[in-house]
Amino acid sequence: MCGIVGYIGHREAYPIVIKGLQRLEYRGYDSAGVMVYDGKDIVVSKTKGKVVDLEQKSAGVDMSGTIGIGHTRWATHGVPNDVNSHPHVSNSGDLVIIHNGIIENYAPLKEELIKRGYVFHSDTDTEVLVNLIEEVQKKEKLKLGKAVQVALNQVVGAYAIAVFDKKNPNEIVAARLGSPLAIGIGEGEYFIASDASPFIEYTSNAVYLEDGEMANIRLHKQMKVRKIKDDSLVDPYIQELKMNLEQIEKGGYDHFMLKEIYEQPSVIKDTYRGRLLANEGIIRMAGIEDNLEKFLNADRIIIVACGTSWHAGLVAEYIFEEFTRVPVEVEYASEFRYRNPIIGPKDVVIAISQSGETADTMAAIKLAKEKGAFVFGVCNVVGSSISRETHAGAYTHAGPEIGVASTKAFTTQITVLTMIALRLAKAKGTLSNTDYHMYLQELELIPEKVKEALGTNDIAKEIAATFVDAPNCLYLGRGYNFPVALEGALKLKEISYIHAEGYPAAEMKHGPIALIDEHMPVVVIAPRKGHYDKIVSNIQEIKSRSGRIIAVVTKGDTEVRKLADFVIEIPETSDALSPLLTTIPLQLLSYHIAVMRECNVDQPRNLAKSVTVE
């Protein structure tokens, strides 16, 4: 959840670390801190609040030095305040640490360290870890790298850490287990970060540490990577980064979220580019072709995901069952591993995650593999943990998604999953040739239709002004668009803090209808294809109870228009592909309501982009 940044080299560290923290602030933003070493002394500045608050606190302080580490926090242990902010310093004042993750057995470790005379100033598990490293270092007379390794073999939990020792100031030790960590390799300099965005303008070469690995990063020496468990040397794979600086800047938009909403036509096209050849009737995806028999022989498909990715999985359930006639179950990854699920070698598990680092999804993957299932990953971040842990997979090509509330991740995940379902349907013969070719042609047209759907921005803004003060909102959809109702409600909750619920439209009368009155806005997703007549009946039920109806309809609709208070039109497409269009106005509506409520759209309270703790 937290973001960590480090630098060791020939440049001034502070500006690099601060800029890196700003780029990682989507990972956590309740407090921030930085340490620099000026050649003689450690200087630490940290504060509750955002990186801008850290900059203000550090103004006037001499932060010069060519070694530095920084942290932006999403609180786990201890409330957000100055003391609990990272970096944390050991009792001697020599060791400094930044940490992303959770040390689950910190309490007994802390008790033991207190007995040995250690004093703690914060409520964090991280301060326990830095003092444990110091105790190991003193007791066994070890250098920093070895002390970190010994200490990490005593802890239970997840971590990405960077540790600095004033007594050996030409080195930073980094390690990871369950939380991502990238090391940028420049000319006579190294960069450490939770992802590559903090150092993309300095180097295009990076090493992504694998789970259970640590790196000794030393000035003027080659980096050494070892296994934490047994100290064995690892030959690190240096990969060339594909990200560019433009992708992680706002590009003239007021917020990253709005930029990412408007990127959807291009990123959907990027996601199917080279994979979808509609005129030739071909879908070609290496991860599927290489494992086609696994999919064709599967008794069922289990989809595991969290949040927005779970909603994409629900859409995929409808698509897979309709196209391939294989039973599909969609599971919350956070619940999956704890209910002793029945999984076997003839199951295919599809794990979906934007970041590729979601801790709950990673845990579900490991369980599925232990049970003998074939595990296929769908994620956005090249080199992420899920891409390495799964047997095979497919990347979305959404580019970096900085806004905490996912938008383009959702539509590109659906795009990938739809292509997989179509490829399997073709191989199984469960779709007619006519339908197969129709879907390929329709999918190729989706980017232009999304662009047209983005033209609803002005009407979404007008509707937002009407409902900006609504305390509650209900979202209704049927069939393929029921998951879109869930996603629409989630977006509103996440960024505007308005309570919202998504429901299957037919379920409304089994409870939620009791909430409907003249003050309740009800968003109804009612495209012409699918269960149109049924949802018109549901709208009439709402209307008869004075509910205020916002309807998302197919262009040219007349029947729903007579009943709804507000209408948003989208282009026509097939029922199965309609979620790629119906979700667009819901994203815009949530965005504008949040802006009008003066909420922090890109960094909503209590949330973080990459959820690397359970």
pLDDT (tens digit, 9 = 90+) per residue, 2-47? 889 999 999 999 999 999 999 888 777 788 999 999 888 999 999 9
Position 80 confidence tier, pLDDT thresholds 50, 70, 90: confident
Query: What number of CA atoms fall less than 13 Å from residue 295's CA on the CB side?
Result: 23
Following DSSP, what letter does each residue of 279-319 receive, concatenated? GGTEE--HHHHTTHHHHHT-SEEEEEE-HHHHHHHHHHHHH
Tally: H helices and E strands in the chain = 20, 27
User: What's the whole-number mean pLDDT along residues 287-307?
Assistant: 96
Strands (E), 16-156: 31-37, 42-48, 67-73, 88-89, 95-103
pLDDT at 463 over 80: yes
Residue range 414-442: mean pLDDT, rounded: 97
Residue 280 has a pLDDT of 93
Does residue 396 register a pLDDT over 60? yes
Q: How many CB atoms lie within 10 A of CB 429?
A: 9
- Please say if the pLDDT value at position 249 is more than 80: no
More confident residue, 241 or 121: 121
State residue 516's pLDDT score.
83
Q: How far is CA 507 from each of CA 31, 140, 511, rounded to the nearest angstrom?
A: 42, 64, 7
User: Alpha-carbon torsion 228, 195, 191, 243, what sign?
Assistant: positive
Residue 458 near residue 279, CB atoms below 8 Å? no
Confidence (pLDDT) at 245:
64
Q: What is the pLDDT of residue 242?
A: 72
Per-residue model confidence (pLDDT) at position 523: 95
pLDDT at 608: 60
Q: What does the pLDDT look like over 308-339, one tens digit per residue?
A: 999 999 999 999 999 999 999 999 998 998 88
Check the CA dihedral 406-407-412-418 and report its sign. positive
- How much is the average pLDDT of 144-171? 94
- pLDDT tier at 544 (50, 70, 90 boundaries)? confident
Task: Calculate ∠ Cα 313-318-323, nearest 5°.
Answer: 115
Q: State how far the alpha carbon of 43 is from the alpha carbons of 37, 65, 162, 169, 205, in Å.
A: 6, 9, 16, 13, 29
Task: Classify 547 as helix, strand or coil.
Answer: coil
Identify the pLDDT of residue 315.
Answer: 98
For residue 389, give both structure tokens: 């842990």
Instruction: Check 2, 306, 379, 473 and give the catalytic one.
Output: 2
Looking at the predicted structure, is the pLDDT value of residue 514 above 90?
no
Q: What pLDDT was estimated at residue 244?
A: 65
Residue 246 has pLDDT above 70, yes or no: no
For the chain, how long is the longest CA-to-CA vector? 80
Range name among 61-65, 237-241, 371-375, 596-600 with the lowest pLDDT average: 237-241
Quick one: what percent of the chain has pLDDT higher than 90? Answer: 73
Whether residue 521 is predicted with pLDDT greater than 80 in this model: the reply is yes
Task: Say whether pLDDT at 505 is over 90.
Answer: no
Task: Check residue 432 and give its pLDDT.
Answer: 95
> Token digits for 343?
């999984």
pLDDT confidence tier of residue 1, bands split at 50, 70 and 90? low
Of 86, 216, 247, 67, the closest CA to residue 143 belongs to 216
Q: Which two tokens stand for residue 9?
A: 């080299």
| Structure confidence at residue 485 as a pLDDT band (50, 70, 90) | very high
CB of 128 within 8 A of CB of 136?
A: no
pLDDT value, residue 614: 52
For residue 465, count other CB atoms closer than 10 A to its CB. Answer: 11
Three-class SS state of 213: strand
pLDDT at 342: 92
Extract the tokens encoding 384: 């992420």
State yes or no: pLDDT of 576 exceeds 70. yes
Residue pointed to by tokens 């001499």: 62
Residues written for the chain: 614
In the three-class reduction of DSSP (H, G, I as helix; E, B as strand; rest coil), residue 603 is classed as coil
pLDDT at 228: 96
pLDDT digits (tens, 9 = 90+) for 181-226: 999 999 999 999 998 889 988 999 999 998 899 999 999 899 999 9
CA-CA-CA-CA torsion sign (47, 52, 55, 56): negative
Helix residue ranges per DSSP H, 181-299: 256-262, 264-272, 286-289, 292-296
> Distances in Å between the alpha carbon of 193 and those of 20, 170, 215, 403, 428?
8, 18, 13, 18, 45
Average pLDDT on 534-555 reads 87
Confidence category of residue 139, pLDDT binned at 50, 70, 90: very high
Least confident of 76-85, 294-303, 351-360, 448-457: 76-85
SS3 of 133, please? Answer: helix
pLDDT tens-place string over residues 36-46: 998 889 999 99
- Whether 599 is catalytic is no
Active site residue 2: yes
The mean of the pLDDT values for the chain is 92
pLDDT higher than threshold 60 for residue 613 = no
Catalytic-role residue among 46, 48, 50, 609 = 609
* pLDDT at 341 > cutoff 70: yes
What is the reported pLDDT for 445? 97
For residue 45, give both structure tokens. Answer: 């500045």
Alpha-carbon distance 329 to 303, whole Å? 6
Q: Is 265 exposed, middle or buried (0-12, 13-18, 19+ CB in 10 A)?
A: buried
Query: Mean of the pLDDT values across residues 531-535?
Result: 83
**More reliable by pLDDT, 112 or 535:** 112
CB 164 within 8 A of CB 35: yes
pTM (predicted TM-score):
0.77
DSSP H stretches of helix in 141-203: 144-152
Q: What is the pLDDT of residue 611?
A: 56
Residue 544: C-alpha distances to residues 191, 219, 284, 434, 518 (Å) = 62, 73, 50, 42, 10
What confidence category does residue 412 fall into, taking pLDDT thresholds of 50, 70 and 90? very high
Closest Cα to residue 306, out of 261, 362, 349?
Answer: 362
CA distance 499 to 486: 12
Q: Helices 579-596 and 433-453, interaxial angle, to 10°?
A: 20
Strands 374-379 and 392-395: parallel
